Structure 1
Amino acid sequence: MEFSGTSVIITGAGKGIGRACARLMAQRGAEVIALSRTASDLASLREEIGGRSVQVDLADPAAARRAMAQAGTADFLINSAGINVLQSSTEMTDAGYEAVLGVNLRAALITCQAFALARIAAGGGGAIVNITSIAGHRGFAEHLCYAASKAGLEGATRVLAKELGVHGIRVNAVAPTITLTELAEAAWSDPAKSAPMMVRHPLQRFASAEDVARSIAMLLSRDAAMLTGAVVPVDGGFLAV
């Protein structure tokens, strides 16, 4: 119960890594304020862990700001909301640019800003973890905007750490490898597709959503009190070799 008496805002909390974070933080004592686009996901999450929820389409900047105002002041923020549009660099459409960069980068910056302003007004302190990707470090086909959004969020994480440190707010990021959420398990179940990627992981496995959630919890904890501006690979060694 290391987070007893604290609260955490989690974007993209309805599914995947965000939902794993919500479960873990609730298990460890935090009140979860879940943000998601899908009402049914939020309803099932409330039944599972309690807490509060805000339905929002983070692609809409004004809606993102309203949702953060509704969420209120919290101790922690986890930015897990993210999407991808699989189009090559010569095929990417304006709609693809707007969708991916709007959710993965712009919305995350909006939530970080709103969280920071609320924390500063409350006297400072707190921590943010942004979820990026190994795609921000290596080139994967049909990931043009996704890679740009994740690399951009890592750059923003360092700027936020620099500017918010004086207020006692820590800002870090995790960069997961392929993470076997329900959708990803289906996508990577074919050995012909997964084997070439698997061999590049020294631990010889992909990540689970719980693997990523535990790394995020570590970065939010008192054990990481001197960590800020860091990007922690949760990748089974992929980026190291």
Structure 2
Amino acid sequence: MEISFKSKRILVTGAGKGIGRELAKRFASLGAEVVAVSRSKDGLDSLSAEVKTIKSIAVDLADWDATRAAIQSAGPIDCLVNNAAHASLESFLDVKPESIDKSFAVNVKAVINVSQVVAEGMIKRKSGGSIVNISSQASQAALADHTVYCATKGALDMVSRVMALELGPHNIRVNCVNPTVVLTDMGRLGWSKPEKAGPMLAKIPLGRFAEVHEVVDAVVYLLSDKASMINGVTLPIDGGFLAT
């Protein structure tokens, strides 16, 4: 199946590293004009040096007004991937108010904020569009020490469904992908110890964690015209974790 994003402008948040970085590179390789957004200017600079056609915007997505201005400055966007996320891992009894505020600011509020700006432009231009939000298996399965993270991803799933409902009449599709542990550089480091990885792997029928390209492949498909009738889904990329 051949997918092309020629003549498309795609904005990816959290593009300085990990999944977001690989998404930005893949979209560029498929002909898109990519706008990469991240809080880390260093990450964006190295990405732009690696793929010179990628444009970058450095902004803290937790800052509502600064984010809104930054996304508006990006110009018209045809496709959006809300990938940026914050994780604060604490047991339920240790959850602190600042953990709640920071996580919801990035994982939920920023998605709403960025998507509002992008969708308003799509509606004004009557161009339609596609949005993919990066959620998690943690939206549907309770994970120890993930109280706030699970809550934000559960909220993101429902925000995405309402977006699909309300934006669908404007020919704007909105979908989620919900990965298990993904072996980014950080994922490999965080899940390298057998005593931590073992219990999680035991719940995955395929017996392994996800590779970055497996998430990227799914996002590329959902964002593309090949998925033109897919709207409002939450797609697990979890090797069967949620099936058990």
Residues 174-199 of structure 1 deviation map (CA, whole Å, 9 limit, x = unaligned): 00000111111011111121111112
Partner of 1:6: 8
In 1, Cα distance between equivalents of 2:194 and 2:139: 24
Q: How far, CA to CA, are the matches of 1:154 and 1:124 in structure 2? A: 25
User: What's the offset of the Cα at 1:210?
Assistant: 1.4
Structure 1 residues 129-148: aligned runs within 5 Å: 129-148=132-151
Selected match of 1:76 from 69, 74, 79 = 79
Any gaps of 5 or more consecutive residues in structure 1?
Answer: none
Determine if the alignment matches structure 1 residue 44 to structure 2 residue 46: yes
Q: Say if 2:29 is the partner of 1:27.
A: yes
How far residue 220 of structure 1 moved from its aligned partner, in angstroms, is 0.9
Partner of 1:203: 206
What residue identity is the alignment partner of 2:217?
Answer: R
C-alpha contact (below 8 Å) 1:38/1:55 kept by paired residues: yes
Alignment of 1:63-102 (within 5 A): 63-102=66-105
Structure 2 distance, partners of 1:204, 1:23, is 28
1:149 aligns with 2:116: no
Does structure 2 retain, via aligned residues, the 8 Å contact 1:9–1:78? yes
Q: Runs in 1 of length 4+ with deviation above 2 angstroms?
A: none
CA RMSD of aligned residues (A): 1.0
Q: Confirm whether residue 128 of structure 1 aligns to residue 131 of structure 2.
A: yes
* TM-score, normalised with respect to structure 2: 0.96
Cα distance in 1 for residues equivalent to 2:132 and 2:178: 11
| Structure 2 counterpart of 1:185, from 179, 184, 188 | 188
CA shift digits 1:12-31 (9 cap, x unpaired) = 00011111111111111111
CA displacement 1:5-54 (0-9 Å, x = unmatched): 11100000001111111111111111110000011100111111222110
The equivalent of 2:122 in structure 1 is 119
Q: Distance in 1 between matches of 2:204 and 2:97?
A: 34
Choose the corresponding residue for 1:226, options 225, 229, 233.
Answer: 229
Q: Distance in 2 between the 1:142 and 1:190 partners?
A: 17
Alpha-carbon separation, structure 2, partners of 1:104 and 1:72: 23
State the percentage of identical aligned residues. Answer: 42
Q: How many residues align?
A: 241
Cα distance in 2, alignment partners of residues 44 and 211 from structure 1: 23
> How far apart are the structure 1 equivalents of 2:83 and 2:197?
24
Q: Is 1:103 the counterpart of 2:106 in the alignment?
A: yes
